Amino acid sequence: MGRPETPGTAGPAAAPGSGSADGADLRPPDATPAALTVGPGEAQRHPHAARPVVVASSLGPLAGLRADPDESASVGGPPATALLLPGYSGSKEDFAPLIDPIAAAGIGVLAIDLPGQYESPGPDAEHEYRPSALGPVIAGVVADEAAAGRRVLLLGHSYGGLVARAAVLAGAPVRGLTLMDSGPGELPMGRRRSDLDVVEPVLRRRGIDEVIALRDASGQWSSTHPHVVDLLRDRLRRSAVAGLLGMGDALRSEDDRTAELVAAVRARRVPCLVVCGTDDDAWPVSMQRTMADRLEAEFAAVPHAAHAPNVENPSALLDVLVPTWRTWLRDDILG
């Protein structure tokens, strides 16, 4: 059996309104999800039927959102869970629009805050937030899900993709790996890397409130709903400074470990998907496509999206994820 899981108590409760039962009624089990209506800048507050939970890990409790699958839409075999890992300065709420449609397609969802993010406590040392350190932590979470009889489809967004890769390299028993807007190694030169260069000394010398003030002044949140901006500020303020510094450093120094990952997924016959927004401004789309070729992975680019299709165009992203994952699960049953 896996480690015990407890109901979550911190943070905003999941809101009903687009539950899996409604989604399942709109389409036959094998169809792609019905189109979502998500207002501009409102994704992290999109209503869903997931319940807050606390998941045990080797680094302590991790805050999560769990949604049970609609069993009538299952492809058969043991139950499946999509384990969703957010990116740098992100949180489980970044996946809010995806939760109910994935569950309605017969796949459970467990979206978590990584150690040190938002509602998950984390260690004090910066080096413990590198992908090589967090990977074994997530591998343990995957192992617990597997011990509970669930097949795990692991997805990592941006920095979460580097952590997901490290989890697979650490032996996580996944049934599929999805790398979303995540590259083969460190961020290439560009705006996002420059932003990290600017933020690091401010964070070290003046603290997180000054970083929030910088983001406010930059207009970065100007097109975001005020209710969501409150969440973004709160989660940044509650995230571990050591975590932001450690992840930021890793984003500028992570080695290309694609060759190691190729060997691991081939040896264990783990199917892979690389997906990104067509206008990704972190790792170039061409770089991610090349990584997919090296992995012999499926590749998809989501239109009208940049670095976060989960919030920018979740409907089109689901059109990629759900059919792909269901095919993997069906192939797993067939052997």
Alpha helix (H) ranges present in 19-127?
Answer: 20-25, 96-104
pLDDT at position 81 is: 98
Q: What is the largest CA-CA distance in the chain?
A: 57
Residue 228 has pLDDT above 60, yes or no: yes
**How far is residue 167's CA from residue 267's CA, in Å, rounded to a whole number?**
15
Residues 238-286: tens digit of each pLDDT = 999 999 999 999 999 999 999 999 999 999 999 999 999 999 999 999 9
Q: Would you call 302 helix, strand, or coil by DSSP?
A: strand
Token readout for 43 is 């994704």
Are the C-beta atoms of residues 110 and 155 closer than 8 Å to each other?
no
Number of C-alpha atoms within 13 angstroms, CB side, residue 192? 21
Long-range contacts of 203-210 (CB under 8 A, 24+ apart): 203/241, 203/244, 203/245, 204/245, 207/241, 208/236, 208/237, 208/239, 208/241, 208/244, 209/237
Note the pLDDT tens digit of each residue in 6-24: 666 444 433 333 333 333 3
Instruction: Give DSSP secondary structure letters for 75-105.
Output: -SSS-EEEEEE--TT--GGGGHHHHHHHHHT
Q: 50-87+96-188+255-334, what's its fold?
A: Rossmann fold (3.40.50)
Instruction: Give the pLDDT of residue 35.
Output: 61
What is the residue extent of each domain of the chain? 50-87+96-188+255-334
The span from the first CA to the last CA of the chain, in angstroms, equals 25
Of the candidate ranges 18-32, 115-129, 283-297, 309-323, the one whose mean pLDDT is the lowest? 18-32
Residue 117: band (very low, low, confident or very high) from pLDDT cuts 50, 70, 90: very high
User: What is the CB-side half-sphere exposure of residue 220 using CA atoms within 13 A?
Assistant: 14
pLDDT at 304: 95
* Distance from the Cα of residue 208 to its chain's centroid: 23
Question: Strand 298-302 and strand 272-277: pairing?
Answer: parallel
What is the tens place of the pLDDT at every residue in 203-216? 999 999 999 888 88
CA neighbor of 160 nearest in space, from 117, 120, 206, 114: 114
Length of the chain: 335
Reported as a single tens digit per residue, the pLDDT across 130-174 is 999 999 999 999 999 999 999 999 999 999 999 999 999 999 999
pLDDT for residue 223: 72
Rg (CA), the chain: 18
In sequence order, the 6+-apart residues with CB closer than 8 A to the CB of 193 are 187, 251, 252
280-310: pLDDT as tens digits: 999 999 999 999 999 999 999 999 999 999 9
Q: Which letter does DSSP use for residue 182 in this model?
A: -
Looking at residue 17, its pLDDT comes to 35
CA distance 309 to 24: 23
pLDDT of 8 reads 65
For residues 40-67, give the mean pLDDT: 94
Q: What is the pLDDT of residue 180?
A: 98
